[in-house]
Amino acid sequence: MLNLNVAAFRLLAVHSRARGKGLGKLLIKACFEQARKEGSHHLVIHSTKYMMTAWKMYERMGFERFSEIDFEKNGVTVYGFRYKL
């Protein structure tokens, strides 16, 4: 794996009744701001094919696949993404 100055978030969720209002994007933008404030050069996250709605949102926001951090857990492939700050 590359040696990067990175930040990450473990889990980001929006209650089902509040979805579709842009709250997920606002939370991610807050993560961008915090990571920049801490001097990070990248923000990395993981997603699965079970979370395709979120996956597509991440891609629209500029995250790119980062296969160097992919892994498998309990038979589920977990895919890495990276956003260059």
Cα 22 from Cα 41, distance rounded (Å)? 25
Cβ-contact 65, 46 below 8 angstroms: no
The residue ranges of every structural domain in the chain are 6-10+18-84
Q: In this predicted structure, what is the pLDDT of residue 4? A: 62
DSSP, collapsed to helix, strand or coil, labels residue 76 as strand
pLDDT in tens, the chain (85 residues): 455 689 999 888 899 999 899 999 999 999 999 999 999 999 999 999 999 988 999 999 999 999 999 999 999 999 999 999 9
Q: In this predicted structure, what is the pLDDT of residue 12? A: 87
Cα 69 from Cα 81, distance rounded (Å)? 8
Cβ-contact 28, 12 below 8 angstroms: yes
Q: What is the pTM of this model?
A: 0.85
* CATH no. for 6-10+18-84: 3.40.630.30
